[in-house]
Chains A and B, each alone.
Chain A
Amino acid sequence: MPAEIYLNVAVSGLLTGLVYGLMALGLSVIFGVVRVVNFAHGEMMTIAMYLAVVLFSHYRLDPLVMMVPIAGVLFALGYVMQRGLINPFINRPEHSQFMLLVALALILVNGLLIVFGPDAQGVQTSYSFASFAVGRLIVDANKIYAALAALAVAAALFAFFRYTLAGKAIRACADNYAGALVVGLDVKRLYALTFGIGAACVGAAGCMMVLLVDVTPPLGPAYTLLAFVIVIVGGLGSMGGALLGGVLIGVSEALAGLFIAPSAKSMFSFGLLILILLLRPQGLLGRRT
């Protein structure tokens, strides 16, 4: 097999992994602050993907251009979900939260099936079939754009949590819930804000993902599972871990497909998950509790 194929495949995996990472980042942010595991995470991403498809098919609006408005819509959805639906469950047992979000995920999948049907839908932009050639390395243009956008969104998110008052307040809530209450922070509003930010992340990731894959309603549960694998590998609650996990899963799946068998890709990522759980249960960048 020619040597450049390994480089081609590794670069492709790295770029896809960055988009995976952004998707998982939303899940990690929500869990890290609100301590609720969003089992409807992938389904929320498919909503963003369908929004991108509808806007493209009706108005020819590029998903990358629509990334900010769609992330805004998802932010609003996440905010309202947290305030109206999830907040009453914050202090209930974990199995109640689990059932709530699984039920929500099922409703979303079936709702999308009713509205959009079972057929795959996608966007075909002017650069859908474009690729860049650097010597013998051929890189998919869509993956480059999507990965760059993912990096930009992730950087903006890191900056928000580090430099803004709201970001610092959210981090305070995550670090010390009682302390945040004592100093007068509106924790419920901050939780809703956090859930909205997590949802916005996954909304932005959906806009990038729709450049790479066609969307069907059953894609939601598949991406929820993938996001879980990534955050567990990277460390649940760790933002850097989510990005690292995404890249690791992206690259390892791609190389496993090349070295072992393409149909063994998923098997390999779950194998990696088990290995991490055995050797470093808190994940690569997670903190031991």
Chain B
Amino acid sequence: MKTGSHRKIDTSQLAVTRRTFTAGVGAAGLLAASAPFQIGRAQGAALKVGVLLPRSGVQAGIGQDCQRGVEIAPAILKGLGLPDLAIMNADTESNVEVARSRAERLIGEGAQLLVGAFDSGQSTAIAQVAEQKGIPFVINIAAAPPITEQGYKFVFRNFPTAPMILGDAFANQKEIFEAAGVAPKSVVFMHVNDTFGTAMQKGIAGIMPKFNMPYQITETIAYDLAARDLSVEVAKAKAANAEALLLVSRLNDAMLLTRELVKQRWTPMGVLSMGPGWYEDQYLKTLGKLADGPISFVPWYDPNKPLSKQLEAALAKAHPDVNLNTNHIYTFEALLIAADAYKRAGSADPKGLADAIRTTDITNNVSIGPGIKFDAKGQNATLKNAAIQNRGGKLVTVAPKAAANAKAEWPMSAYDKRG
């Protein structure tokens, strides 16, 4: 299958899974006919990039969303004068051990560089394989700090670590409060009790005191990720009489919480989300006007950068109903890093590629901050995170000021006055 001038070799069909089965059946004939030819051509000028994503399992939706970043990359990279990439897709099945074995298989099949894998656990496993085999690995999304603390020579991460995300979140909150001239004095902190939610809860407890925030956390409410009803949680939060809500959620619980806020007739001064859920397309589409108002503190893109506008336009063309988001941005940038390094290295020699990535200095990029460059640990430490607000079914960047394209609506408007 071809996308622009980039050739794809789909290895995900090698292991039949529940989700890949249907797609595999439809695509098998086409791929079977075209794959050998593509492999042959890929051994020419194109760099063979193995893209590992959770395309099935519990993270399937996110993995498929990241894939959109892969789909729209070729035309943009070509426009930037960068060399072709032959994409080899692989499915981690949202599983650490599968991620490890898929990485090994991709390298065995000739992948010259790896990209992935959305999740910290899966990325850690792939990093170990990449380092052992001496193949460069560019992480698109994974926030656990230890991945780039191991002294790896072939592992690079263009994504903020959890402490970077939290630190920027508190800084951006203060910026919003100061601009609005009003700040909450108390918040209820609600979070999912999975690994991510618990880690964020610990991180917030550790980092928040350093920022001298205007509010106190009056109550912390942990809830089950699989909860089907969050009425008790919201009743408890409402009874705490706090002014605002601080949240670490996922998508389904974000929707449940919003419904309960409306039904229980409580509009806090604001909803401050330190995780996914509240800005996702499904949240915006499902809740309509009731989705407006929450502010999410996330790794994002600078809407004022020229390449961001290009990426937005490409995504709007390919997927008109999808807003550009973290998954697309950082997956695209991982491929940008790969193509840029390949061009400068002049060959697919793994060590040469790794050296080229280490000296990356891309200023024409998408994410917030001065650009893409890596420190000695392989981490892009110059990344900045944004505060984005839901506004009329779209997302606007409200902080930091340097990357903002709108002013925050704070406090948010009451749910019962939205028509």
Q: Do A and B bind each other?
A: yes
Encoded as 1 (CB less than 8 Å from any A CB) or 0, chain B from 261 to 289 comes to 01111000000000000000010001000
Known: A118-B60, A119-B282, A262-B224. A1 touches B232 (CB 8 A): no
Known: A16-B229, A140-B231, A213-B228. A114 touches B236 (CB 8 A): no
Q: How far is the CB of A107 from chain B (nearest CB, A)?
A: 11
* Chain A residues, CB < 8 A from B221: 262
Select from chain A the residue with minimum beta-carbon distance to B251: A120
* Chain A residues, CB < 8 A from B230: 262
B223 at the interface (CB under 8 A from A): yes
Q: How far is the CB of B239 from chain A (nearest CB, A)?
A: 5
Instruction: Report the bound CA distance from A34 to B58 in whole Å.
Output: 36
| Count of chain B residues near A, Cβ 8 A | 37
CB contacts between A and B, total, < 8 Å: 91
Q: Is the CB of B265 within 8 A of A5?
A: no
Q: Is the CB of A262 within 8 A of B264?
A: no
Q: Is the CB of A122 within 8 A of B222?
A: no
Interface of B is mostly: helix
Q: How far is the CB of B123 from chain A (nearest CB, A)?
A: 21
Encoded as 1 (CB less than 8 Å from any A CB) or 0, chain B from 53 to 66 comes to 00000101100000
* Chain B residues, CB < 8 A from A219: 228
A254 at the interface (CB under 8 A from B): yes
B226 at the interface (CB under 8 A from A): yes
Q: Which of A95-103, A129-137, A170-178, A280-288 contacts B (4 or more CB under 8 A)?
A: A129-137
A183 at the interface (CB under 8 A from B): no
Instruction: Report the bound CA distance from A131 to B263 in whole Å.
Output: 5
Q: How far is the CB of B53 from chain A (nearest CB, A)?
A: 14
Q: Is the CB of A5 within 8 A of B224?
A: no
* Chain B residues, CB < 8 A from A266: 224
B104 at the interface (CB under 8 A from A): no
Partner of A118, one of B61, B256, B262, B290: B61
Q: How far is the CB of A18 from chain B (nearest CB, A)?
A: 14
Partner of B233, one of A110, A122, A131, A257: A257
Q: Is the CB of B193 within 8 A of A263?
A: yes
Q: Is the CB of B22 within 8 A of A2?
A: no
Instruction: Report the bound CA distance from A272 to B283 in whole Å.
Output: 35
Q: Is the CB of B233 within 8 A of A130?
A: no
Q: How far is the CB of A54 from chain B (nearest CB, A)?
A: 16
Q: Is the CB of A133 within 8 A of B239?
A: no
Partner of A265, one of B224, B251, B259: B224
Q: How far is the CB of B306 from chain A (nearest CB, A)?
A: 33
Q: How far is the CB of A124 from chain B (nearest CB, A)?
A: 7
* Chain B residues, CB < 8 A from A122: 255, 286
* Chain B residues, CB < 8 A from A265: 224, 227, 232
Question: Could you say which of B228, B230, B232 has the most chain A C-beta atoms within 10 Å of its C-beta?
Answer: B232
Select from chain A the residue with minimum beta-carbon distance to B282: A119
* Chain A residues, CB < 8 A from B21: 114
Known: A9-B235, A119-B61. A263 touches B263 (CB 8 A): no
A8 at the interface (CB under 8 A from B): yes
Q: Is the CB of A262 within 8 A of B22?
A: no
Q: Is the CB of B232 within 8 A of A9?
A: yes
Partner of A261, one of B60, B222, B263: B222
Q: Is the CB of A129 within 8 A of B232?
A: no
Instruction: Report the bound CA distance from A266 to B265 in whole Å.
Output: 26
Instruction: Report the bound CA distance from A110 to B19 in whole Å.
Output: 9
Instruction: Report the bound CA distance from A114 to B232 in whole Å.
Output: 33
Q: Is the CB of A8 within 8 A of B262?
A: no
B210 at the interface (CB under 8 A from A): no
Q: Is the CB of B255 within 8 A of A258?
A: no
Instruction: Report the bound CA distance from A130 to B264 in whole Å.
Output: 9
Q: How far is the CB of A24 from chain B (nearest CB, A)?
A: 15
* Chain A residues, CB < 8 A from B18: 110, 113-114
B186 at the interface (CB under 8 A from A): no
Q: Is the CB of B235 within 8 A of A8?
A: yes
Q: Is the CB of A129 within 8 A of B263?
A: yes
Known: A5-B236, A9-B232. A262 touches B227 (CB 8 A): yes
Instruction: Report the bound CA distance from A83 to B43 in whole Å.
Output: 59
B405 at the interface (CB under 8 A from A): no
Instruction: Report the bound CA distance from A214 to B230 in whole Å.
Output: 12
CB<8 Å pairs between A and B, sample of 11: A1-B239, A113-B19, A119-B282, A120-B251, A120-B255, A129-B263, A131-B263, A141-B263, A222-B228, A258-B232, A265-B227
- 3 tightest A-B CB contacts, nearest first: A257-B232, A129-B262, A213-B228
* Other A-B pairs, 9, CB within 8 Å; known A110-B18, A213-B256: A12-B232, A119-B282, A120-B282, A129-B262, A131-B263, A212-B228, A257-B232, A262-B223, A262-B227
